Each structure stands twice: as C-alpha cells, then as structure tokens.
Amino acid sequence: MLKLKYIWDESVHSWIYRNLVVSGCLDFSSVLGTDGCWHRSPHFSDDFSFEKEKLDGAELRDFLRRSGLANKRAGMFDNPFDYLNEVKEVFLRTYNINKGKGHIPIRYCEACIADGIKELGFGYFKSSWLFDTKCLIHQRKMSSFSTSRKKETEQRMTDVLSGVEIVRKKFYRIESSFLKDINSVAEPPFHIMPCFLFDFYRWASMSREDGFLGYDYLDFYYVDGRRKRLSDEMLHYKFKFYLKKYPKEMKAFISNSSEIKEYKLGFSRKCSFTEKLLKSKKHNCSKCYQWFSSDYCPIKPIISSYLGDRMTMINSQINACDFHVKYRYKYIF
C-alpha cells in the first residue's frame, strides 16, 4: 500500500524507492538497475497497491514531469492525452522491462541529504539530480554511485539516505542524454480533431472559378478529375501550408466551421486533466461513428463489445448500429 507522500522536489525514482523500502519489498528492480543507476522509466512493483483517489491528478502529473516522465509530446494534430498512458504505467505497468542495467547515474549532494534529514527526518533524492552534475544550492559537484552489483547498490542507497558519510570512490562525468528525451514539444493552443480536418479537406479541395484560393485545389485531384484520398501526414502538411499562404481565408474558415471543446480526463480522479480540442461544428461527438478510424481523437463515445468469437472480428472495429444507420443495410461480420 502506498504509504509515503512525495516531496515537491523529489524524483519519482526516490519516491518509489522509499515506498518500496517502507512496505518491506525486497525487489527494487523496477526502479534500480543492476549497475548502480536509475532506470529511465521507474514504476511500482506488481504487488504494490495504492489508493489512487488520494492523489491529485494535476499535481501528480507535474511531479512526474519534473523527473522527465509523462511529458506531453502531442503536436497540433495529435491526441493531447498522449501522456496519460505514461502516468498509468508508473502505477499499473502490466510488464516489467526494468531487469537489466539502468540509464541514469544516481547522483546526490551530501549536504542536501543532511538538510533533508534535519528538516524532515529522512533523506531523499531530488528530481534535479537526474540531470545536473552540480548542486545549485550548495555549489558543489555531486557524488555518484560507482557500484556494479545489485546488493552493493542497495546498501549504498541505505547508507546515503540514512546520512552515513561515505568515502567517494568515483565521479561520473556523464552529461545525461536523458535530457534530450524529456523535452515536450511546443504547446499548441488547441489540438485539431479528425472531424475538422475532414471539413478542411472538403473546403480546400473545392473547385472554384473565382480564384479564391488560387489553383491549389488542383493538388487534391488526379489528372482525370478524381479526388485524391490524402494520407494524414499530407493533410497535416496542406493545413499548415494553407495557414501560411491564405491566413485571412483560413482564419474565417476556422471561425465559421469549428468550435473549441474542453475535454477532461482523469487518472486518480475524474476530470483531472483538461485539454482544448478544435472540432467541427457539423459533427456531434456523441453520435460520431468515425472515432475508431484513428487514435487522434481522445473522445470515445462508443464502447465496442463482441458477442461472438473475438478472433473472427480481429480486423473489424465497426459499430454495427452506426453502420446500419449510415448505409441502410446490415453489417455482416
């Protein structure tokens, strides 16, 4: 059971490790490597339970991000809740990939550890130590683990967190490449959903004689006059291209054809996370039958359940009721 609340500047790795120790766990492979390093993606062990309702979702997300986890990497056309799975995996990972060596040196400042023991009664590892080689508070180079055996690493952890002074054996001179992997993409003001992209495709490819959008609409057609079916990547490119070439026209189109929907999801509590979605005014989310065609839209109004053998329908994610409403005949699995 989750026993210890995290400290605001503590690393996720340290928080998990402290909880495992207090709970009497003897296996730390979910957070510690066999070479005296932290794992890149730490998680609680399978037999560890917790009451997730007691965790504030937004606060927990920010806490994870300070350790390089659960960062939002979604671009303008992506599902904005791409980080939610990584939040879940810290607590509910169904597989363990952390059995070998770690990736991040275990660095610490003895003075900070001593301050923690004095103020809180215990020591802990800070999130900034995952990336820095120098303590910015005490202006001193941090110590690093140099152990190569599992038992030695665990004993060193105990000694450090208890405040036992240790003779420094070795310093790692590693500027962790982990830094390159944690950066989120620039936060877009909203995320464009497939339904609005479909409206854009119809609008941008409309044949016009007045030159309203020049002759760029021809790019959407084959020589014989058939309309092309563009890939998602090409449609995204065309959207950005039109934004630059026809800013006024695009501004009017977006204003007249779209609406902003604030969608909420949660992990520990309902509605913990909020993201802005730009969707089509013409489409009703509760009646959408295209949600299964991509994972770009986080709104899933329909739950699929199968009465027959699931393997016979492995390639079918079509809702039979919606199929009948749209095409006026029964869908045969």
3-state SS, residue 312: helix
Supply 147's token pair: 């152990």
> For residues 286 and 250, is the Cβ–Cβ distance under 8 A?
no
Q: What is the pLDDT of residues 203-232, one digit of tens each?
A: 999 888 777 888 888 889 998 888 888 888
What is the C-alpha to C-alpha distance for residues 263 and 260, in angstroms, rounded to an integer? 9
Q: What is the pLDDT of residues 259-281, one digit of tens each?
A: 999 988 877 777 778 899 999 99
Listed in order, strand segments (DSSP E) in the chain are 37-38, 104-105, 107-108, 134-135, 140-141, 143-144, 191-192, 258-265, 273-280
User: Domain-by-domain residue ranges, the chain?
Assistant: 12-182, 191-281
pLDDT < 70 regions, the chain: 1-3, 52, 93-99, 148, 165-186, 289-294, 301-333
* CA-closest candidate to residue 258, choices 300, 299, 198: 198
- Give how far Cα 37 sits from Cα of 30, 34, 68, 134, 148, Å: 12, 7, 16, 17, 9
- Helices 247-257 and 232-245 pack at an angle, to 10 degrees, of 120
What is the C-alpha to C-alpha distance for residues 143 and 171, in angstroms, rounded to an integer? 6
Helices first, then strands: H and E counts in the chain: 10, 9
Give the model's pLDDT for residue 209.
77
Give the model's pLDDT for residue 35.
81
Measured over the CA atoms of residue 322, residue 194, residue 294 and residue 265, the dihedral's sign is negative
Give the model's pLDDT for residue 302.
56
Q: Mean pLDDT over all residues of the chain? A: 80
What is the C-alpha to C-alpha distance for residues 81 and 232, in angstroms, rounded to an integer? 19
